[in-house]
Amino acid sequence: MSNSIITAAQIDLQGRVLAQLKTLNLGVNDNILRDIVRRVTTQIATNTVSQVNASAGDHLTSIPNNLIGINNPVNLVSKNLSSAGLTSVLTNPIQTKIGPGITTNLITSLQQELSRSLPPDKLKLINFASFNTSLNKTLTPTINSSIANSLSGFASLLFNNSTPQKPVIQGTEALFSSLSPEEALNAIEEQFASTTANKYLDEAAKFDVNSAENQEKLVVTKVGFVDPTANYPTKEYAGGVETNKLAQGDARGTVVQKKNDNRMAGAKLPGGDAWSQPESPFKGQYPYNKVTQTESGHVIEIDDTPGAERLHVYHTSGTFIEIDANGSMVRRTSGSSYEIIDKNGKISIAGKADISINGACNIYVGNDASIEVEGDVNLTCHNDITAQAGGTLNLSATEEVNITGGSVNIQAYNYMNVMSKVELNLHSTQTTNMLSNATINVQSVDYYQRAKTYHTQADNFYNYANVSIYNYAVTDINYKLGGNFKVGAGGVINNQAGGVFAVDASQVQLNSGQSSAPSESEESKDAKIAGASNIGVLSGRRVTQYINLTDPSFLTLADAHSLLLEETSSSDSEYKAQQDLVITSGFATAAGFGEKPIVIESKSEADVKSQQQKEVPASADLKKVTDLPGNFKLSPNFTVEMLSHKAAATKDKLQAQQGLTYGEIAFNLQALALNVLEPVYNLYPKMFVTSAFRFPGKNATSQHPLGMAADLQFRGASKSDYYDIAVKLAKVLKYDQMLLEYCNYTNNPWIHISFAPTNRLQVMTFNNHQKYAMGFTNLA
């Protein structure tokens, strides 16, 4: 186990945990808090690396032998995958498997350490339920990052027998000592962005455009009748038959293996049960399996293999539907799932149904809702249950109704009626209080029925106490009896009046011996203790985490149309023509163009001034080329086609124009990829290029036709996220222009970045294709 990997994992955790503690304002010395955090995170970091190593080893050793081959992602004999590839394959399943447990363990350990180390008056300041929820939300991404980094170290040791050098942020404790927690976190994020950008600029500098892979692509474009894009045959099929591997019955390195590796496992159910996605029922054999597989990775299978007949539709994102030989269907959606039924819907399941939802669940019914269960119903909620009725709320049970709680409160705004046909028992182990703002009536009546007429027969009413009974009234106490009034005492009878003591009777006898003792008051019967509800009591509240997995924000038609327009027009008439084009296309209105945006915050050019000094040179060899296949790599992660005719919005194939040769534009695109796109992609893996090289527009100043500029968007990013991304990128990249561009008729902004031989480091905000301000402005 590498100490450097453990140290990196510990550093990942310390800053976040310390920041959360500081927000509590406990008034505790910073050194005490740091010591608490250090003890906890040291142990957690060690456990994280240990669990990652064990879990990764389990994944490697549990792969079936029949999958081992030249295309097996973890075949260490042929080493056909790098350590980075192995990390990519295993990261998600390992994070899913051990991440929640590590997060819970860290929070529990921290709570225990705080309880041991802090005085009682400080502990009272901590609302642990709220603190744990906040900590869970903050630490989950950090734990996942630690797992990914630890796994990278595991893979590197496995493949290269060496420990990778991870970017480390120095001086985090000093930042938290001198800045507020929020400022310190922002400073750490900026340092991380700078360190990461520098790391991947160094990686980009090692890229060789004349690599053997690129040279192979150049050769195949000139030999015989072959695919002019140099995509086919792929390496996987080179030197062998080109019949799809699934059609051959070979699942190695295919979507079948990918689906099995990424199976959902352990979906929680009530009572501690769980269920998992079954493995693929693939047993295809040639020539029964008819397979269509596209360039992007979509797969359609119509499999007639005897005894294993299947239908399978697979989307490159990982969403699929598969029907096996028994007619059972597995449907998995990588994003969100929407089902729209314009009329009625029916669902009938002859067997058992299990539903597991990790996030919130909202159900709305526009009319009546009826649920009927022939067996028992068990409802368990680890926090609160609220039931409200606009009309009547009815609870009925043929046998018992049991209610148990710490405190039970029952309130009626009008009448409250409690009736028992046998006995009514009220019992408290301590005080019983009865309070009325008006009269309290207590009556004992025995009901019986004769000839359908109700009669009452008065019974006795007893007041009994083991010690004393006190009757007190601020004004009068009145006794009225139909018979005799008897007062007897084993001791003295004291009658005292502050005023007149009046006695009126037909005869008054004093000490005559004629008085009779009153009847003995019977001892009141004990109230029976109310029966237990027999439903049990839960241990207490559970800390919950709100889960809302947002869908990526893909390009709309308006977005794509807007991106085809230039950043600005060279004249007012040209801008007006562009505006008219957008309006006549139905994407916006004239009023919409004139609507002023709302400013949320802004930063000047000085606030976001770039600190980047590194510059990676492009290969001069590219200037000599006259044609390149689309999949020719210009950098580790970007090809010619990704920056030209296969960008998200523009589809213009690379060509000579604007006084530059084909090779000179390719040279410019590589400089842009190495210096801008590589560090951005590694900081934000969900980045994609909407437009890079494109044909000349009306704006003569555009750098896109020269291969010097790219427009970027980010899947899943909100509108306000683009401002934060632009601010961070502006400080860590070298560029000619960086423009944060908004349109009030599109869903998404975009970031335009250019790279030129001489870089001016200009930073601007655009709105509706016109310059809005220098620097960056966050527009609502």
Mean pLDDT of 687-696: 90
Mean pLDDT of 679-700: 86
Single-letter amino acid, residue 145: S
Largest CA distance in the chain: 144
Q: What are the tokens at 178?
A: 């001198």
User: Which contiguous run of DSSP H or E holds residue 194?
Assistant: helix 181-205
pLDDT, residue 514, reads 67
Under the banding of pLDDT at 50, 70 and 90, the label for residue 432 is: confident
Please provide the average confidence, as pLDDT, over all residues in the chain. Answer: 78
Domain ranges across the chain = 3-166, 245-332, 551-779
pLDDT, residue 724, reads 92
Tell me if the bond preceding 233 is cis, omega within 30° of 0: yes
pLDDT of 614 strictly over 70: yes
**pTM (2 decimals)?**
0.51
DSSP state of 407: S
Under the banding of pLDDT at 50, 70 and 90, the label for residue 151 is: confident
The tally of CA atoms less than 13 A away on the side-chain side of residue 662 is 10
Q: What are the tokens at 772?
A: 């809005």
pLDDT of 212 strictly over 80: yes
Mean pLDDT of 174-188: 75
pLDDT, residue 75, reads 44
* Among the four given CATH numbers 3.30.750.200, 3.30.1380.10, 3.40.50.150, 3.40.50.720, the one describing domain 551-779: 3.30.1380.10
The string of pLDDT tens digits covering residues 260-319 is 888 888 888 887 788 888 889 999 988 899 999 988 889 999 999 888 899 999 998 889
Under the banding of pLDDT at 50, 70 and 90, the label for residue 693 is: very high
The string of pLDDT tens digits covering residues 362-416 is 888 888 888 888 888 888 888 888 888 888 888 888 888 888 887 888 888 788 8
pLDDT, residue 653, reads 92
Three-state helix/strand/coil letters over 456-491: EEECCCCCCCCCCCCCCCCCCCCCCCCCCCCCCCCC
Between the CA atoms of 516, 520, 521 and 527, what dihedral angle is there, to the nearest 10 degrees?
-170
Q: Are the folds of 245-332 and 551-779 the same?
A: no
**Which fold does the domain 245-332 belong to in CATH?**
Nuclear Transport Factor 2; Chain: A, (3.10.450)
Under the banding of pLDDT at 50, 70 and 90, the label for residue 454 is: very low
pLDDT, residue 464, reads 62
Q: What are the tokens at 523?
A: 């001892």
